[in-house]
Amino acid sequence: MALEWLALLRRAHHEFSTRIEAVTDWSAPTPDSEWDVAALVRHVVAEQQWVPPLLGGLTVADAESRIRPLGDDLVAEWNLFSGLAIAAWDVAPPAAPVHLSYATVTVEHYLREQVSDVTIHAWDLSRAVGVDENLDPALVAGVWEVLDQQRDMLVASGLFANPVAVPDGAPLQDRLIALTGRDPRPTAPGGAR
């Protein structure tokens, strides 16, 4: 199971990488109304900075001193910290404990959480920069498995907006995106639906 999720992690990072390369307007709005493109990318890159020290057994408090401010070249920062995070995941034992801010979980739990985060934000970045929004189907299926089981918790947590209604029989990716409070319907030029 962990090997499958490591493969999905690589797919998620690939999906994000292809989209970050397409950014031309770092101040463009994203589906997350609190962030523009630069803030969204900074969030995802910062999450990758935390992976090696946390997988190395440090607590959040101990790891904090190892986290440096990100530079202005966010593509380079993504490439650097994506590579370091993947290398750390490759050697982390799936059942080892990871001390996160909200609980101590297993490496595999944290891996699934990170795959989900990068995947959803790859879609956000697609929508923001106007490129193909279709994500790898295996990645969508894996993240759906995680988030659908956490449906009630996601709504209660406030991490996402309330789920968006989609038609019965909507594609799995649309249902996944809608579950996270994003509207998967295509936007026309000028933002109209």
Q: Give the length of the chain.
A: 193
Positive or negative torsion for Cα 93, 98, 103, 108? negative
Distance from C-alpha of 11 to C-alpha of 166, rounded to nearest angstrom: 26
Q: Give the up-direction half-sphere exposure of residue 130: CA atoms within 13 A in the CB hemisphere.
A: 10
Q: Is 80 exceeded by the pLDDT of residue 35?
A: yes
Percentage of residues in the chain with pLDDT exceeding 70? 95
Question: Which two tokens mark 51?
Answer: 């992976």
Q: Using alpha carbons, select from 6, 8, 100, 81 the residue that is nearest to residue 43.
A: 81
Instruction: Render pLDDT for 76-132 as a digit per residue (tens, 0 to 9).
Output: 999 999 999 999 999 999 999 999 998 999 999 999 999 999 999 999 999 999 999
Cα angle 138, 162, 179 (rounded to 5 degrees) comes to 10
Q: Is 70 exceeded by the pLDDT of residue 190?
A: no
